[in-house]
Structure formats: structure tokens, C-alpha cells
Structure 1
Amino acid sequence: MRQQCNLNSDMKKICFNFFVVLVLWTPFLTHSECIGDIVAKKSYSVYVVPQTAISQLYSYWVPLLESLGKRSNQCFELIVPATIPIFEKQLLNGKADFAFVNPYHAVMAFKAHQYVPLIADGKNKLDGLIVVRADSKINELKDLNHSKIAFPAPNAFAASLLIRSFLMQKGIKFEPIYVKSHKNVYWSVMTGDVPAGGGVNNTFFREPDEIKNQLRILYKTPMFMPHPFIANPRVPPSVQQAVQNAFLSMKNDPALTEILNNVQIPDPIAVDYRKDYMPIDKLILEKFAVSSENQ
């Protein structure tokens, strides 16, 4: 019989603390049941970069993969690692059959294992943001000199790599503080733990008004193609094509509008590595990247 927590206040605290410890010590969480076509002969893993709360990502991606699997006649297993560095390590080890990754991860995965970008959102390009508190006295980038700046992770593309490289080019010295997710960045700035933080438009504008209204955008990076859904080359080409076609067909179904928007792909379009993501490799961001072994 599954044990349940009693509802008195002491037991609530104990249960909550146990849950927090469990989450912190779990390197990744999986949805091991088949999502999609339950009669499919094989299950394919789908790794999702943990930009926001893991529970939120599961609530968004399970319905998406359910529809995608039924349309493509495939079965999926959803895996969301606890942190971005753990996600990177699993990705670069080639564990993911499919993955939803940031643009720089797409470059890393292509170089490591020739992962193929299948689709990305065609509606919203990705730009990095530096945010400060709405009432902050910081009004220019030079005001950040010798400040602590929060970032989700070293290799978060627009929220970290682009911003750090730009600030260094401008001669602005700062101490990077890595807080594991975009949500944690916004919260850290809002609560005054740090004077500024790096994020992206696709996560910032999805935050509740009570958070957005307490923050102000200080700087925006140039725009790039957003996060792609990529495939390991070991996945048969016919399966890759079926998944890509299924994604493209989903935008024509009004019932799936909210589901697609939740996973930051409101308008799926086909993408190509050389045209859409190779230009990022030419930015020479390697000197700002950090190996997953050192994070």
C-alpha cells in the first residue's frame, strides 16, 4: 500500500522536505510509460533541456509527445535531467534519441554525434536578455562593472554564452553566478540576490506578471533561430521523417495551439543545421563554454 502524508502541519513539513531532498538528489526524472502509440515496436527517448521547473516541463511535454506519437506512430519516453549541465553530459554522451536543445547545444551535439535538427519555432526568434529590477539604478551596461550576474548555466546559449561574450568584449568585469534555470535567474534578480541576470525572450515573457512587472530589460542580444528538436542519426531516417511530418501537421490543428505554445514551438517549421545553426559555430563561443565535467 502506498504511504501517504497526514495532513497535519508537522507532517506536511516533513513530507515537503523529503520531496525537496528527493528532487535535489535525483539526476533526472523520467516518464517511463509509452507516450504516444502504445503498439509501436520501439520506444525512443526524448530529452528536454530543463530551462524551467521540471514538473512544469512534464505537464507541457507529455501532451505534446502524446499527440506527436499518435501522429507519427511512435512511442516516446520523456526524460528531463535535473540541471542543464547534467542534460549536456547525457546529450554529448549520445544517450538521447531525440532532444529539445538550445541552439548552442545543437552545435555541440552535431559536432559530437551528428545530431540532426528536425524542426524549430518559425514564429519567434531567440534573443538573450539582461534583466534588472524595475527600480534598479542600473541604466547602462557599464553600470554592471564589477557586479554579480546570474545565469542559468555556463552553456545556456542566448541567456549566458552570448551575454558573457558580449560583456567581455565591452571590457565589463563581472562575477557569473549559475543558478540552474531561467526561472531561478528571474527570481534571484527580483529578490535582490543579484543586481542583474541573463535570460531569453521565450522564457521571460512566459513568466507571471507579478515577476515580469518587477523586472526591466536592460539589454537584448541579436536574434537567432530558436531551440530545435533534434534527432540522433541512429534513429532510422524514416522515423525522423515521420516525426518531422507529424510536428509540421500539428500546427494546423487548433486544438493543439496551446500545447505547442507551452513547449515554445507555436509554429513548427523544418530546419537545417548548415543554414540555421552552423552560423552559431562561427561566433567562436568555445572559449566561453564550460565542459559538463567541470560544471
Structure 2
Amino acid sequence: MNDEIDMYLLVSFFVFFVAPVSNANSLSFGIVPQQSAKKLARLWTPIFAYLSAKTGEDIRFSTANDIPTFEKRVAAGEYDIAYMNPYHYTVFHQVPGYEAVARQKDKRIKGIVVVRKDSVLNELTELDEEKLAFPSPAAFAASVVPRAQMDLKGMQITPQYVSSHDSVYLGVARGFFAGGGGVMRTFNNTTPEVREQLRVLWTTPPYTPHAIAVHPRVAPDVVEKLKQALLTMNDDPEGRSLLKTINFKGIELAENADWDDVRALNITLLNDLLK
């Protein structure tokens, strides 16, 4: 089993570093890099092996070294399938036309702001004039929503973008930042030795979660097979076990209108990528 995992990781890192675009005989599945590529490969590659077996398609893990690079790749349509944050979906549905097919079941995404467990801070406004860590400017729940709330409260903070959620948590745990933005799923998935040094100071309102979306070039019959394979995970013990590794309770089908709550925020951070 370890040899199989090692081989999966070797293939995954080849795709990550060398070939983010799928070849004619495979489908690239891009995962937004909320965590390190190594951790994402470990968590998602077995899921893609499962989906490949169920669909008869060769579905391969891919990601990027940071969220801005991921955004550029999605904007260029480099991934056949992508798992992207709610704001990303509202942007990249427009160009190049990704269409949502599924999302996490019974889930609303909430951003969090974390501080060290021994911090004396108890209110979000107490982070005024502090240096705070965020994964990227357009990380929806971990950056966009918390920063919007801070602006509404008149807070003046110094944001530092550190490429991933795990980097936020590590930076706060080590005392490099007074606090930082993330989401509960990645907070729960980060290493125990880091997580145990932190506590959640504040939580955002809830929104529709990340989308699993397909590029328009993916054939309709392949899209249908993917949908059925994703739904199968809910009732299959192996599928449920794999979903548990990424803290998913299940998968449900989705449609474009599901993200209208995010569109109502009128966020324009990535408008330049639509040109």
C-alpha cells in the first residue's frame, strides 16, 4: 500500500510541477492550494483513483504552488475539472465558462480568524493596527470576507499574504502574526501540533461552499459519469472513508444559481483576469 501511495505522489508531483494541462487521454483535476501540494496530493490522489475507477476516465491530481497561480491557470482553462472557492467560481463561470456540478453536502462555508491560544485578544476589533496573515487576496472565506468586515469596522490592519492556509496557521502559531484568516476545514486538517497552539477568535457569516466545476470542453457524457461517481461516494463505504479524509460529510449535485449569495457581494478583485 505504501508503494502505491508513493507512486501516486510521484505522479501527482509530476503533474503539479510539469504538466498542469491534461493530455488527450486524461482529465486534470485542479485543487485550489489552500494547503501544501504534498498534503493535497496525499489527500486527493486516492479520491481521484476512486473516481477514475468509477468513471473509466483517467483523472489526475493537479494544483499550483500558490492561489494566484491557480487563479491564472483556471482563467486560462488549464484544468478540465477544478475545485475552487465560491468567489473563484463566480468569476471563472464567466470566463472561461466553468460549470458547477457538485459541492460539499449540507455545508456552508465560514471563514475564521485565528490567534494564538495564549493571546489576550477576545474581539475582532482588538486586531486593529496589527499585522495579519491571509492565504491570498482572493481567498474568499479566509481573506475577502474577513477583510471586508474589518473595513466595515474601520480597522486598519497590515495584511501579509503567505500562499496557503497552513502557512497562515503556522505563522500565527509561531508568533509572526497577531492573527490570520482561514476556514474550519483547513484548520481541522492542519497538523495537531500547530492547531493546538491556536484558537478561533471570530467566524464569518455562512456562504455556499467551494464548487467542483468542469470546463466546457469536457464532453457531456463524461460530466454525467463524474456526477454519478461523486454521488456514489455517499453510499459506498470506501467513498465515505475517502471523503472523511478531506472532512466532507458527503457530496451533492450543484447548479450555477447556488452561488448567487456570493455574487450579491459584488466582489471585483479578479476582474482583470476576465479581460
Same fold (TM over 0.5): yes
2:259 to 277, 280, 290: 277
> 1-side partners of 2:41 and 2:193: how far apart?
23
Aligned partners of 1:53, 1:217: CA distance in 2, in Å? 21
Distance 2:271 2:41 in 1: 27
Report the CA distance shift for 1:290/1:136 in structure 2 as closer, same or farther (over 3 A): farther
CA offsets, 1:6-56, max 9 Å, x none?
A: xxxxxxxxxxxxxxxxx9xx9943688x9xxxxxx7311111111111111
Deviation at 1:188, TM superposition (A): 0.6
Task: State the shift of 1:91 in Å.
Answer: 0.2
CA offsets, 1:98-152, max 9 Å, x none? 0111111111110112211111111432100011111112211221111111001
Give 2:155's aligned amino acid: I
Q: 1:135 aligns with which of 104, 111, 118?
A: 118
Q: Which runs of 5+ in 1 are unaligned?
A: 1-22, 35-40
What is the CA–CA distance in structure 2 between the aligned matches of 1:28 and 1:76, rounded to whole Å? 14
2:155 to 172, 176, 182: 172
Given that 2:165 and 2:182 are in contact with CA atoms closer than 8 Å, whether structure 1 keeps it comes out as yes
CA contact (8 A) 2:51 2:59 kept: no
Task: Work out which of the residue numbers 172, 181, 198 in structure 1 matches 2:164.
Answer: 181
* Paired AA for residue 178 in structure 1: Y
Report the residue type matching 1:88 in the other structure: E
Partner of 2:92: 109
Counterparts of residues 161-240 of structure 1 (less than 5 Å): 161-240=144-223
User: How far does residue 95 in structure 1 lie from its aligned partner after superposition?
Assistant: 1.3
1:108 to 1:290, Cα distance in 2 relative to 1, 3 A:
closer
Which of these two proteins has the greater Rg computed from alpha carbons? 1
Q: Is the 8 A contact 1:49 1:102 kept in 2?
A: yes
Unaligned 5+ segments in structure 2 are 1-12
Please state how far the C-alpha of 1:234 moved relative to its aligned partner: 1.3
User: What is the DSSP-based 3-state SS (H/G/I as helix, E as strand, rest coil) of the residue aligned with 1:205?
Assistant: helix
SS at match of 2:159: strand
Q: After the TM superposition, which residues 38-187 of structure 1 pair with which residues of structure 2 at under 5 Å, given as runs?
A: 42-187=25-170
Q: Assess, with a 3 A threshold, how the Cα gap between structure 1 residues 31 and 56 changes in structure 2: closer, same or farther.
A: farther
TM-superposed CA distance for 1:264, in Å, is: 4.3
Bigger shift: residues 231-240 or 71-80: 71-80
* CA distance 1:131–1:289, shift in 2 (3 Å): farther
CA contact (8 A) 1:30 1:79 kept: no
CA distance in 2 between partners of 1:198 and 1:71 (Å): 36
Corresponding residue number in structure 2 for 1:19: none
Residues 47, 80 of structure 1: 8 Å contact kept: yes
SS in 1 for 2:41: helix
8 A Cα contact 2:117 2:197, kept in partner:
yes
- Could you tell me which amino acid in structure 2 is paired with residue 89 of structure 1? K
Q: Which amino acid letter does the alignment assign opposite residue 283 of structure 1?
A: L
Would the aligned equivalents of 1:131 and 1:218 in 2 still touch at CA under 8 Å?
Answer: yes
Partner residue of 2:230? Answer: 247
RMSD: 2.4
Change (3 A) 1:242 1:101: same
Q: Which runs of 4+ in 1 moved over 6 A?
A: none
TM-score normalised by L of structure 2 = 0.88
> Conserved in 1, the CA contact under 8 Å of 2:208 and 2:261?
no
CA distance in 2, matches of 1:180, 1:290: 20
Q: TM-score, normalised by structure 1?
A: 0.82
Stretch moving more, 179-188 or 76-85: 76-85
Farther off after superposition, 150-159 or 136-145: 136-145
The answer on whether the counterparts of 1:43 and 1:77 sit within 8 Å (CA) in structure 2 is yes
Q: What amino acid is aligned across from residue 260 of structure 2 in structure 1?
A: M
